Amino acid sequence: MNILGIIPARGGSKGLKDKNILKIHGKPLIAYTVEAALNTSTLDKVVVSTDSRKISGVVRGLFDIEVINRPKKYARDHSPIQETLLHAVEFLEEEKGYAADIVVWLQPNVPIRPKGLIDKVVKELIYSNADSCVTCYEVNQTPEIMKVIDKNGKLVPLHPEIRKYRRQDFPKRYLLDGSVVVIRAKNLYETRGVRKVHVYLGKEILPVVQGKREYSMEIDTAQEVPLVAYYLRSSS
């Protein structure tokens, strides 16, 4: 079974310029994810997919791994991630003869991963009949009781039919954090061109709930850098 780790690192970033190679504690942000991927027992190949020469140069200067040049059409603000992943999968199969059975998507702006996490998520999927396995974290917000502003400028219930009002009356909610997403490669082929949220994860999705909130922290703006830097130092 071929298990491929893909780290997609787009050059363009509106929130924080060059965030994927921003140095934190003297190390480019993307390096934390590459190191985590290389220090696994389950991934037999790790690649970085990027449209940026700058990112490519940084990665190649630090690691002996393959960097795939991502076409611009897969690197726009609204380009679906499954197209990026599928491009890397098909490139490796056509150009290198490497056919991935399982794809492990690792976001480079989520840099704090406890030791063994990637292998745990991969194994959860391998030893199951599920379509995917993902890391997630519990959220405290209750969407059902949130408000919206209507066309008259008034604050009104988002879901006026909801009768419950106590947070403890609602089931627990979870958000995917992008730390580790493990997908059967066939899902990417079967959902090619389908524009639905998380459709590439398939119908049966296994959760791995993060033990600490810092494991799900991502960097998208400058305001998030100090806190992530603090936890990175604490976790080292």
Angle at 17 between CA 12 and CA 22, to 5 degrees: 110
Instruction: Tell me if 85 is assigned to some domain.
Output: yes
Range of the structural domain that residue 7 is part of: 3-135+176-235
Q: Judge whether 29 and 18 are in contact, CB under 8 Å.
A: no
Number of CB atoms found within 10 A of residue 203's CB: 9
pLDDT tens, position by position, 175-194:
999 999 999 999 999 998 88
Burial level of 7, CB count in 10 A (0-12/13-18/19+)? buried
Instruction: Tell me if 153 is assigned to some domain.
Output: no
Q: Judge whether 200 and 185 are in contact, CB under 8 Å.
A: no
Check pLDDT > 80 for residue 123. yes
Instruction: Tell me if 154 is assigned to some domain.
Output: no
Instruction: Give me the mean pLDDT over the 124-147 stretch.
Output: 93
Angle at 204 between CA 201 and CA 205, to 5 degrees: 60
Burial level of 200, CB count in 10 A (0-12/13-18/19+)? buried
Spatial CA neighbour of 52 closest among 38, 37, 70, 36: 70
Which pLDDT value is given to residue 164? 61
**Ranges assigned E (strand) in 9-51:** 23-24, 27-28, 45-50
Structural domain tally of the chain? 1
Question: Residue 120: which H helix or E strand, with range?
Answer: helix 117-126
Instruction: Give me the mean pLDDT over the 41-70 stretch.
Output: 96
Number of CB atoms found within 10 A of residue 78's CB: 4
Residue type, 133: C
Question: In the structure, what pLDDT confidence band is assigned to residue 142 with cuts at 50, 70 and 90?
Answer: confident
CATH number at residue 104: 3.90.550.10
